[in-house]
Amino acid sequence: MTIDSIVYINDDVEDVLTLAARLPGTDVQPLSQWQAKMHTVQACDVLIIDNDQNDLKASKGAVTLKAIRETQPERDVIYTSFQPSIVPEEVIRDKHVHVVKTDQLPAYLAKQFGLQLAEPAAQAQTEATTNLLITYNTVDGYAPGMYANGKLLIVSYHKDANILAKEVVEKHMKDIWGTFDFREDRDRIRSIFVYDGFNGGDKPGSLAQSIGHDARMLVHMLACRCEWERKQRLASSAYVTLSLVECGGEVSMGMIADILLGIKRPGVDYSRLPLTEAQILAGAEKFKV
């Protein structure tokens, strides 16, 4: 199939412009989610809708797709998300929808339609300096707060959260999204470590998925063995790494904080960590169009 025109419904126009630069022989037109819902989508060879589930809000793309289906029930749609595992079930069930990870979209279009794909443009890189440690318990040796002029942000609780864990994680989520404008600040985030235990249920996993989506990067999830199968399922479906640590995670999180800050406390066995020092300091894998 030969294609000349693509409409990409996405509230992040930078993603659309980047895609257009990668497909120099194809007309790629941006359309906001609001515009797509309010007006009939113009004729095009390929229609793409982004999930646009940012800032802990519901998916805009799913609402747009539903509106389009009222007049075009069988139109083929490519549906993008940096975190496909958070795409709503009603979108996945639509037999005329194909879900593609956002950063894999240019290669998918080139292969599917035989399009010429240009190399990504060289971009000035903002040095990523801020590491996030997030847990509903304490971090051994550290109070919550910012360290080393923004090098490390610890988001934690003042004790073992126990039955309050889910509530603590929900507050953490609001605090983090109040601290970062991910569209503006994602380039300054270097790595993210989230503790997932038993009392938090699926809340820490949801946090890891959501922050990974908005920051567009791989998240390190540190987890105890409790409900290990649930955590493995999350790791296999979401873009997180899974590492086994002790129940509570306080000691391991404290050692990771030490390594990020270049500290070695006497008597602490850092070899117990499931991640090597090189892995902790490397910075997370990031996803771009």
pLDDT in tens, 60-92: 999 999 999 998 999 999 999 999 999 999 999
The confidence score (pLDDT) of residue 1 equals 65
In the chain, domain spans:
5-113, 130-281
What is the tens place of the pLDDT at every residue in 197-231? 999 999 999 999 999 999 999 999 999 999 999 99
Let me know: does 84 contact 210? Beta carbons within 8 Å.
no
Cα–Cα distance measured from residue 282 to residue 201, given in angstroms and rounded to the nearest whole number: 29
Residue-by-residue pLDDT tens, the chain, 289 positions: 678 899 999 999 999 999 999 999 899 999 999 999 887 777 899 999 999 998 888 999 999 999 999 989 999 999 999 999 999 999 999 999 999 999 999 999 999 999 989 988 776 666 788 999 999 999 999 999 999 999 999 999 999 899 999 999 999 999 999 999 888 888 899 999 999 999 999 999 999 999 999 999 999 999 999 999 999 999 988 899 999 999 999 999 999 999 999 999 999 999 999 999 999 999 899 998 8
**Do 109 and 5 touch, CB atoms closer than 8 A?**
no
**Is 137 within 8 Å of 162 (Cβ atoms)?**
no
Mark out the alpha helices in the chain (DSSP H runs).
Answer: 13-22, 33-38, 60-69, 89-93, 105-113, 165-179, 182-185, 203-215, 228-237, 250-261, 277-281
pLDDT attached to residue 208: 94
Same fold, 5-113 and 130-281: yes
Contact status, residue 199 vs residue 223, Cβ threshold 8 Å: no
Which CATH number, 2.40.50, 3.30.70, 3.40.50, 3.40.140, labels domain 130-281? 3.40.50
CATH class of 5-113: alpha beta
Residues in the chain: 289
Angstrom CA distances, 56 to 9, 65, 87, stand at 20, 19, 13
